[in-house]
Each structure stands twice: as structure tokens, then as C-alpha cells.
Chains A and B, each alone.
Chain A
Amino acid sequence: MFDFALTHAWLIPLLPALAFLIIGLGTRRDKDASAKIAITFSGLSFLLALGVLGAVITRPIVMADPFVMKTLWAKVGDIELSMGVLVDPLTAMMLFVVTTVALLVQIYSVGYMAHDPGAGRFFAFLSLFAASMLGLVLSVNFMQMYAFWELVGLCSYLLIGFYYYKDSAREAAKKAFITTRIGDFGMLLGILLVQLTFGTMDFVELKTLLPTYIWETGGGILTIIALLLFIGPIGKSGQFPLHVWLPDAMEGPTPVSALIHAATMVVAGVYLVGRAYFLFSALPVVLEVIAWVGGFTAFFAATIAVTQRPFKRILAYSTISQLGYMMLALGVGSLTASMFHLMTHAFFKALLFLCAGAVIEAMHEEADIFKMGGLRERMPVTFRCMAIGVLAIAGVPPLAGFFSKDAILAAAAEVSLPLYLLATATAFLTAFYMARLLFVAFFGEVKPDCPAQETNAWMRWPLVILAALSVVSGAWGHFAGFGEWIFYGPVGEEHIDWLIAGTSVALTAVAFYLAYEIYVMKRWSAYEISRRLGVLYRLSYNKYYVDEFYTVIRNTFVDKLGAVLYWFDLHVVDGVVNGLARFTGGLSGVLGLAENGQVQRYVAVFYCGVIALTAYSLLIAAMLLAVVGGAF
């Protein structure tokens, strides 16, 4: 049973891909059938993923000795490009997380998209999205990963721009695609350099080649490679300064946000660093860069989230912040903590987003949390799930976030005090803005014209399941020995540093208290505080003007350069091309004149050809005769 799943792991991405084809080519217009197909195939893929997980545990397959199946896909010169599956505990965990979230999101979407005429298309894209991510997770080499990486990017483009008739959705889709493409370009350069340097892109082979290479030639070129590779994750995982696309990505339907933010697209970057950790961890300089990028992003995004008003935007910045945590963990050398947080975050962030979807749908597309209020009474189930999600992300024991965040803080504390302080400050801010979100939207008075009602069953059950996972996954991971399962280098001791954990829990409590006083008891006026903070508040509210900065850069450099190039293109390039086209067309006309329909002409041309050939042969014969002097 488990062995079957393991040897058929390639089916896991293939099944949703098949669903995409069936829906895309066949049942696109039939909403119900499309939903059924998508869910069935995702369900099968989920079962297989469970089987793989079982196989990894029972066999057991360990990090040092992955299970690999691959087949030659194309051979270009001496470069052999393979496709296949690589299964180790890391893969198994990711498969489990991705299939779980994807399946739940699809079930949720049945309710969410019930009245959308494009639901068939939506399920097709969702399936392709899941397929791409699963293919990425199973990759055996950088090339396969890159291919699926781009597919994930494409799907995100399609889904963010799902409401293509809305300007903002189109813009957001473009922004997401182009911004991440900037990162992908660096990554592609890195991959090509890997191939040039090592002659292979295979993860397993690279892992064995690397130590000798470093021993022989040092880390110079490798540092460049790793930094280039890391640009990809910066774009994909929304790290500063390429994070700008992620908040806009909420223009897509909310289930998509859940999928993008929790389980698929954004963690692809973290996963890539984790998958190639043998490379990154060998280069201290690169690790330091990763740690600081992650730590800064975590803090930076958290300070923005504190002042935002739209429900999903707060969650979006929280995602960026949490991804920063994961990068930070990788940077300080703890693959375990990073992947642990990736898993728990996938569950509670999917939960939070799906709750957001439920709330926003119930509020008839009203996204501003200050226009909500008192939803606790109107939507009790959603409220409870939301509360669990908030407690989990804030790191309240014994929920999931507590264990994983503590692991990251502990890992950071071992390496660098400033990073630890940054992470702890982020933890405080996280607790504060999540509490703010919860208190403002769900507590207080119900607004008089509030239309909110509890959601339907399709949407409710996924919330409940995710809430359950958000409660138990942390403790389960902690006590079941996640660190002995997914790790790099020496096995990390599973222990809780009570000083660190205590500090962060205390800060969380303080944050909750402050938020409660400000937003529920209204002891202090939020407006007054923001006014006092002045510049700081405006910076945060306007997201540090990063978007505006990019606009200025674009206007001054890109647009001006574009104008010059456009002129060149219009007058020089097009002139040449059009001239060539006119020339070709004219030539065609002239040549065509010969074809006048007269058979006499045809025969004449034929015999001209014959005569030319004969003349040529006689010429050759004469030359031969001259050379051999009449020997025949």
C-alpha cells in the first residue's frame, strides 16, 4: 500500500493536471461537474500523498538517503534533462501540506464560487496550480523545479487576474507575474551557472559533488551562484524588496489567496532554499544574507500590517512577515525550524484567509475591518475558527504557532542577538495586529446595516478541519520529533528554551492586552495614538512608499528609456522589417509572374532546367578530361 504510493508518487502532480485538462477541454461550462472532477482528483492525490508520508515513516526514508525515480526527458548535446520524483521527509511533509490545503480550498470554493459563472475555469486553474506546486515539490533537479516554478507563476497570474474584467485584478496579476519574473531571472542565471560549474543540475548528484568542489576550489563562484539562486525565492516568497506583489495578489478570489499565501506559491521560495540547503548552508556569507533579508522582511512587513485596514491586506502583510521568519530560520541554520513553521503556517494562514473569505462574502465584498464589528454573534463558527487562527499565529501555547515560532526564535538566539531581538519584536507586533484584526472585526457593536450571516456547509467544514490542524500540528510536530525527521546537519534537540518561550508568550499577552484596551474597551483612542506617532504612522500606513518609489524609478528610467527605444524600434527596426517584408512580398509577386498557366511555358522552364543540368555535367566532364588527359 505505502510502497504503491511511493512508486506512484509521480501521479500526485499528474492527477490534478489531468483534472485541469478534463475541465479545461471538457466540462468548463458545467460548474458542478468541474467541481466534482477537481475535488475527486485532488482527493486521490491527497490519498497518495498520505501513502507517501506513510512510506517515508515506515520504510523509513531519511533525509540523507532519498527515494529517487527519474526518467530522461530530453537530451540536448551532452546535457541530459531528467524529470522525476525525489521523496525524502521534506518532500513528504510538503506533499501532505500542499494536498491538504489544496483539497480543502477546493471544497471551500464550491461554496464560495457557487454564484460565479466562471467557476469551471476557476476549478481548472486551481487544479493546475496544485499540480504545478506538487510537481515543484517532487523535483529531482533544478531544471524541473524551474519549469514548475514558472508554471506556478503562470497559475498565480491566471488566478489573481481571475476577475479579468476588473482593472485592479489585471494590474495585480501583471504585477505579481512581472515582479516574480525579476526574481526568476536571477534564479535562472544561478541554475545555468550550476550546470556550467558542475555539469549537472541533479540535487542528489550536486549534494555529493559539493564538498569536494568546495575543498578544491573554495566558495567564490558558489557564493555568486547561491546569491543568484536566492533572488528567485526573494521574488516568489515575497521578501523585501520584491514583496510588493503579494498584498495586491488578494485581487483574486479569496480561496486563491489562501492557496497562494499558505501552501503553494509563496512557500515555493522557502522550499527551494530548503531543497538546496546543502548548497546554501555551506556558504556562511549567503546564510547571513538570507537571515538578514528574512529578519528584516519579517519586521518590516509586521510594522506595515499594524496600520492597514482591509481584512485581507493585513493578512497579506502578515504572510510576508511570516515568510520572513522562515527565511530567517534558514539563514540561522535551522532547516527544521523553517520547515516546521512552513507547515504550521500553511494551516493557520489558510484558515485565516478562508475565514476572511467567509467574512467578506458575508459582508457583501466589504473589506475594511472598521466597517465590520460584532461579527462574533452573527458568525459564531467563523469567529471561533478565526480566533483559533489568530491565537495560533500569535504563538499562544499550546497552539501550532507557539512551537514553530519558538523553534525559530531559539535558533536565532543561538546565532545572533540582533536577529533574535528583531524576531521577538516581530512576534510582539504580530500578536498586536492579529488581535486588532480580531477585536475590530468580531467584537464590539454590530453595525446597523450589517448583512452578515453564517456561511454554508461547503465553506464551514474546511474551516473547522483547518482549525483543528492549527491547534494540533504544532504540538504533534514537537512531540513526534519533527526535528529528527526533517533536518540538515546534526539532529536538533527538541526542547523548549523556557526563557525565550516565556518572553515571547509574555509579549504576546501584553500585545493582546493593549489591543483589547484600544479596540474593545476604547480606553485609548486609536486615532489619538496614530496622530501622536505622526511620521511613523504615515510611513507604515503608506507601506513605506515602496510602491511609490518603484513608480518614480519606473517613470524616470524605464519609461524614458522605453521612449527612446520605442522611437528606435518604430523608425529603425520597423523600417528595416517592413522594408524586408515589402521586398519579400514584391519578390513573390515578380516570381509569380512566371506561373502564367500556359503549359508551353511550363515545359519550356522544365527544359531550361534540363539544359542547365546537362551543361553543368558537360562542364564537369570537360574538367575531368583536362585533368586525366583522355585516359578513357
Chain B
Amino acid sequence: MDFMAVQTEILILLLLLSTLVTDLAMAKGASRRPVAYLTAAGLAAILAHTCGLYHEGASPVFYMGLFLADNYALFFKQLFLLGMVFTVLFSLDYVERCLPHPGEFYSLLLSALLGMCVMASANDFLTAFTGLELMTVSFYILVGFRLSSADSGEAAVKYLIVGAGSTAVMLYGISLVYGAGGSLDFAAVSRNVHLFTAVGLAGVVLVMAGFLFKLSAIPFHMWAPDVYQGAPTPVTALLAMASKAAGIAVFMRVIFTAFPYLGEFMLPLLKTIAALSMIGGNLLAIRQTDVKRMLAYSSIAQAGYMMAGIVAADYFGMKAAMFYAMLYVFANIGAFAVLSVVDAERGGTSRRHVTGLSQAAPMLAAVMTISLLSMAGIPPTAGFAGKIYIFTATVERGNLWLAVIGFVMSMISVYYYLQVTKAMYRDLEPGEETLAEPLPVPSVARAAALVSAAATLAIGICPESLAVLTNFASQTFMQ
């Protein structure tokens, strides 16, 4: 039992407990900002600590190989931590003003984070499932956290119902895989020839359905728009970047370690789903007027892009998907930081609410634009580099058609992303003058937004800086 393997998780757990205790110790009705600062500082410290955990050679494992702390897992944990730190920072005011029980909010965020970290490191089906559920259950609560809003409650219930269905399917799939494979361990399952029977294959696809639900890939995406729109804005941000990345992390590990020999049968399926997600997500986003809902559809498309990287099924594709997941985090931080401020100040996130933002808060409008351009894949933002990596990997494996779909759909996506920019920058019509009044922007949110935009541009201009890390993590994974 190498406790060093689970040190990140232990630290997060300790932080979770201390936020709970701090929250309880504070007077009723007092501002919960100290809890937020504690969370942010703790997460930043853990993030800094994890930087020293990258290693050459064998990775530490915990409890009979159930839990593997390799560089690959570490990369994703850092990604979650990064997303979480920024979310806590940019949503300080939002949480304080719009949510009841802000103290508990942070504890729940941390428990979701713990779940994600477990997912990233999981080396067998049961551990993966445990992590997944820890994250998902936390999110059920978080989505419904805005008690004053009926939308929030509705979203939570919908998420719970559809999510429960997905959990059931996945658990059933795991039991079938166990029945056929005789083990829950990824590596052991991969070596069992009985996986190729009807029972085994059915189990495999059911497990995949569970993960694809997390990725909100088509046709398992129906929950996403309603939930994204109804959830408190910071929670939507986490659903889009962290929850999805956690799904990607465990999905890739399962594909590459538990089902590596099924590639020939499964890849056509996954390619179809990637293509469907890219097409459907982008097409559906066109008609949306609510920016959060638009981003929900766009996130379906983004899942499609990442899957296009995964189905290249080699080191290049994996590296591209990881790279993309990371840059998508920064793009989301930027976009949702702006939306949180707009939501808190103007009481909504539709295109109407962001109108005139270029005059009310020019900096926010600029960050939003940069983030959206990154999602659309326009140079010199990070999204361009990310898409280049993904589609290069796709083309090199002979899936030109998939890349072509990606290109065309990226072009279409520019339309709806720029609709938001247009709303922010267009001249105001008579009667809209109030929209030009300066918007008070909390300084922490401003800083978080700026840093994310700067990171988006920096990665776009010098992609090597991030690519080195993803190369290293995916190379050690492949060994």
C-alpha cells in the first residue's frame, strides 16, 4: 500500500474536510468568502505540489493496482485542479450573491473534484465507477444549487433521471464485462478472450455508453442543453470542462488498456459517434440565443473533436486529445468567467444580456471573444493549434473523411460563436443605452478572465510549451 500514490486525493479530502469545518465554525449569515479563499489557496497549493509528481519509470500504484498514479493521470488531475481553482476565483461574487449556503458549495465542488481525480487514476472498473459516481452525485446537487431558480431545480432533476439511467446501463455493462472477462482489472480484462463473446461485447458497449453520456456525445447528449442552461453558471463551466475531461481521461484509459484488442470492432462505432457529435452539436448550436445553451451544444461538438483525436487510436491522437482538453479548459474559464459576471449583474446569459458588453466592460468582451475564437479554432488562439494536432492525427490514420467533417463543422461553428461577439460589439440601438453603462467587474474575476485569455493566446502562439507536457504524459502512458 503505497500511500504516496494517493497523496493528491488525500490532500483534496483534507481540504474538503477543512472547508466543511470552517463553514460550520463561521457565524450564520456571515460572508463565506474565507471559505472560498481557503478553497482557492488550498487548490493552488495542491496544484503546485502535483507539479513535482511527474516522474520517469514505474508509476506508484495503490491497493493491488486498483489505482495508478501515472503521468497521464497526473496531467488530467492538474487540468481538473486548474479548472477548479479558476472557477472558484471567478465565481466568488456570483456564489455570494446568487447561491444559498455558499460554504457547502465549495465542499461539494471539492467532492466532485475528488471524484474526477479518482476517475483519472482508476485502473479497474469498480474504481472508475466509484469516482464517476462521486463526481456525478456531487454534480446533481451542484446543478440544483440555485434554489431560488426553478430552472436550476428542473435541470437537476433532469440530470438525475437521465444520469440514473446512464449509471444503470454502465453498471450493467460492467457486470457483463466482469462475467465475460473474469476480472474488473483493466489489464486482466484485456487479456481475456471471452471478451469477444456476445456477453462481453454487449458489456463493452454498455460501459462505453456510460462514458459517452459523460462526454455528452450524440446520441447520449440530450440532457446537456437543459442542464447547462439551468445550472448555476460556474457549475456549467465545470460540467463543460472538468466533468467532460474526466470522462475523456477514463474513456481513453479504458479504450487503451482494457479494450485495446477490440479496436477493429469498436473504432467504426466511435468514429460514427465522433462524426455525429461534430455535426449535430454544431448544427444545433446555430439556433440558440442563450449563450450557456449555445455553449452546451458547442461542448457536444467539442467532445466530437476530442473523440476524433481518440479514434486515431495512437500516441498522436491521444496527445492531441489531451492537448485539446487542456486548451478547452482555458477557453471555458474565459467564457464562463465573463458569463458569471454578466449573469450576476444582468440576471441572465442570453445574447440580449451580453449586448453592449464591449462598452460596459471592454475587457470582458475581449476575453469572451478570444475564448470563443479558441473554441472555433481561429489562429492565433490555442484552439487552432489544438485542431491542427487533432486533425493531423486523424488524417495520418487514414480517416480523412472525419477530418473533413471536422473542418466543415468548425467553419460552421464560427458563425454562432461570432454571433455572441457581434452582440457584444454591435452599435446599440435607441432604447438600449443602459447596456453601455459600465459593469462592475470583481477584480478577482477580472484577473481570472485575463489569465485564461493570456494562456489561450500563449498556447496558440507557442503550442510547444504545452505539447511537451502532453507528449511526455502520453508517451509514458503508452509504454
| Genuine A/B complex | yes
Min CB distance B188 to A, Å, is 18
Among residues of B, the one whose C-beta sits closest to the C-beta of A595 is B225
* Chain A 581-629 residues near chain B, CB threshold 8 A: 584-585, 587-589, 591-592, 594-595, 597, 599, 601-603, 605-610, 612-614, 616-618, 620-622, 624-625
Given the complex of chains A and B, what is the CA–CA distance between A606 and B223 in angstroms?
Answer: 9
Chain B residue numbers with a CB within 8 Å of A616 are: 205, 269
In contact, A591 and B202 (Cβ under 8 angstroms): no
In contact, A613 and B158 (Cβ under 8 angstroms): no
Given the complex of chains A and B, what is the CA–CA distance between A614 and B283 in angstroms?
Answer: 27
Chain A residue numbers with a CB within 8 Å of B223 are: 602, 606
Given A585-B287, A632-B193, A591-B280 contact (CB < 8 Å): yes
Min CB distance A16 to B, Å, is 20
In contact, B283 and A605 (Cβ under 8 angstroms): no
In contact, B165 and A607 (Cβ under 8 angstroms): yes
Given A612-B219, A632-B197, A584-B209 contact (CB < 8 Å): no
Contact of A606 among B157, B196, B219 (CB under 8 A): B219
Min CB distance B221 to A, Å, is 9
Contact of B265 among A610, A620, A625 (CB under 8 A): A620
Min CB distance B419 to A, Å, is 12
Among residues of B, the one whose C-beta sits closest to the C-beta of A632 is B197
Given A621-B198, A624-B196, A585-B286 contact (CB < 8 Å): yes
In contact, A613 and B208 (Cβ under 8 angstroms): yes
In contact, A621 and B286 (Cβ under 8 angstroms): no
Q: Could you say which interface size class chain A belongs to?
A: 20 to 34
Residue B367, interface by CB 8 Å: no
Min CB distance A283 to B, Å, is 37
Binary flags per residue of B211-226, CB closer than 8 Å to A gives 1, else 0: 0110000011011011
Contact of A591 among B197, B226, B284 (CB under 8 A): B284
Number of residues from B at the complex interface, CB < 8 A: 36
In contact, A599 and B283 (Cβ under 8 angstroms): no
Given the complex of chains A and B, what is the CA–CA distance between A621 and B280 in angstroms?
Answer: 29
Contact of A617 among B169, B204, B222 (CB under 8 A): B204
Contact of B161 among A597, A599, A609 (CB under 8 A): A599
Chain A residue numbers with a CB within 8 Å of B197 are: 621, 632
Min CB distance A118 to B, Å, is 20
Given A603-B161, A606-B213, A609-B220, A589-B287 contact (CB < 8 Å): yes
Binary flags per residue of B180-202, CB closer than 8 Å to A gives 1, else 0: 00000000000001101110011
In contact, B169 and A610 (Cβ under 8 angstroms): yes
Residue B166, interface by CB 8 Å: yes
Chain A residue numbers with a CB within 8 Å of B169 are: 610
Chain B residue numbers with a CB within 8 Å of A610 are: 169, 206, 209
Given the complex of chains A and B, what is the CA–CA distance between A188 and B284 in angstroms?
Answer: 42
Given the complex of chains A and B, what is the CA–CA distance between A594 and B222 in angstroms?
Answer: 9
Binary flags per residue of B354-383, CB closer than 8 Å to A gives 1, else 0: 000000000000000000000000000000
Chain B residue numbers with a CB within 8 Å of A607 are: 165
Chain A residue numbers with a CB within 8 Å of B161 are: 599, 602-603
* Chain B 409-463 residues near chain A, CB threshold 8 A: 412
Given the complex of chains A and B, what is the CA–CA distance between A135 and B280 in angstroms?
Answer: 47
Residue B147, interface by CB 8 Å: no
Given the complex of chains A and B, what is the CA–CA distance between A584 and B287 in angstroms?
Answer: 10
Chain A residue numbers with a CB within 8 Å of B222 are: 594-595, 601-602, 605-606
Given the complex of chains A and B, what is the CA–CA distance between A239 and B405 in angstroms?
Answer: 48
In contact, B193 and A613 (Cβ under 8 angstroms): no
Chain A residue numbers with a CB within 8 Å of B286 are: 584-585, 588
In contact, A599 and B196 (Cβ under 8 angstroms): no
Among residues of A, the one whose C-beta sits closest to the C-beta of B200 is A621
Binary flags per residue of B123-148, CB closer than 8 Å to A gives 1, else 0: 00000000000000000000000000
Among residues of B, the one whose C-beta sits closest to the C-beta of A608 is B219
Among residues of A, the one whose C-beta sits closest to the C-beta of B264 is A620
In contact, A606 and B165 (Cβ under 8 angstroms): yes
Given the complex of chains A and B, what is the CA–CA distance between A588 and B413 in angstroms?
Answer: 12
In contact, B225 and A618 (Cβ under 8 angstroms): no
In contact, A621 and B201 (Cβ under 8 angstroms): yes
Given the complex of chains A and B, what is the CA–CA distance between A603 and B163 in angstroms?
Answer: 9
Binary flags per residue of B259-272, CB closer than 8 Å to A gives 1, else 0: 00000010001000
Given the complex of chains A and B, what is the CA–CA distance between A49 and B268 in angstroms?
Answer: 62
**Which of A595, A603, A609: most chain B Cβ within 10 A?**
A609
Given the complex of chains A and B, what is the CA–CA distance between A632 and B192 in angstroms?
Answer: 12
In contact, A588 and B283 (Cβ under 8 angstroms): yes
Given A603-B161, A606-B222, A613-B206, A618-B198 contact (CB < 8 Å): yes
In contact, A613 and B283 (Cβ under 8 angstroms): no
Given the complex of chains A and B, what is the CA–CA distance between A610 and B209 in angstroms?
Answer: 6
In contact, B194 and A632 (Cβ under 8 angstroms): yes
Given the complex of chains A and B, what is the CA–CA distance between A601 and B283 in angstroms?
Answer: 20
Chain B residue numbers with a CB within 8 Å of A605 are: 219, 222
Given A603-B165, A605-B219, A632-B193, A613-B269 contact (CB < 8 Å): yes
Min CB distance B66 to A, Å, is 27
Chain A residue numbers with a CB within 8 Å of B158 are: 599, 602
Chain B residue numbers with a CB within 8 Å of A618 are: 198, 201-202
Chain B residue numbers with a CB within 8 Å of A620 are: 201, 265
Among residues of B, the one whose C-beta sits closest to the C-beta of A621 is B198
Residue B162, interface by CB 8 Å: yes
Given the complex of chains A and B, what is the CA–CA distance between A618 and B200 in angstroms?
Answer: 10
Min CB distance B318 to A, Å, is 21
Given A599-B158, A599-B162, A621-B197, A609-B219 contact (CB < 8 Å): yes
Among residues of B, the one whose C-beta sits closest to the C-beta of A587 is B283
Given the complex of chains A and B, what is the CA–CA distance between A608 and B198 in angstroms?
Answer: 19
Chain B residue numbers with a CB within 8 Å of A621 are: 196-198, 201-202
Chain A residue numbers with a CB within 8 Å of B205 are: 613-614, 616-617
Given A605-B222, A608-B219, A614-B287 contact (CB < 8 Å): no
Among residues of B, the one whose C-beta sits closest to the C-beta of A605 is B222
Given the complex of chains A and B, what is the CA–CA distance between A632 and B196 in angstroms?
Answer: 9
Given A609-B209, A609-B220, A584-B202 contact (CB < 8 Å): no
Given the complex of chains A and B, what is the CA–CA distance between A595 and B196 in angstroms?
Answer: 36
* Chain B 64-108 residues near chain A, CB threshold 8 A: none
Min CB distance B228 to A, Å, is 12
Chain A residue numbers with a CB within 8 Å of B265 are: 620
Given the complex of chains A and B, what is the CA–CA distance between A613 and B220 in angstroms?
Answer: 11
Chain B residue numbers with a CB within 8 Å of A617 are: 198, 201-202, 204-205
Chain B residue numbers with a CB within 8 Å of A622 are: 198
Closest 6 CB pairs of A and B: A609-B219, A621-B198, A602-B222, A617-B201, A613-B205, A588-B286
A/B interface sample: 30 pairs, CB < 8 A: A585-B287, A588-B284, A591-B280, A592-B284, A594-B222, A595-B226, A597-B226, A602-B222, A602-B226, A603-B162, A603-B165, A605-B219, A605-B222, A606-B162, A606-B220, A606-B222, A610-B206, A613-B206, A613-B269, A614-B205, A616-B205, A616-B269, A617-B202, A617-B205, A621-B201, A624-B196, A625-B198, A632-B193, A632-B196, A632-B197
Known: A588-B284, A595-B225. 10 other contacts (CB 8 A): A588-B286, A592-B287, A601-B222, A602-B161, A602-B226, A610-B206, A613-B206, A613-B208, A617-B201, A620-B201
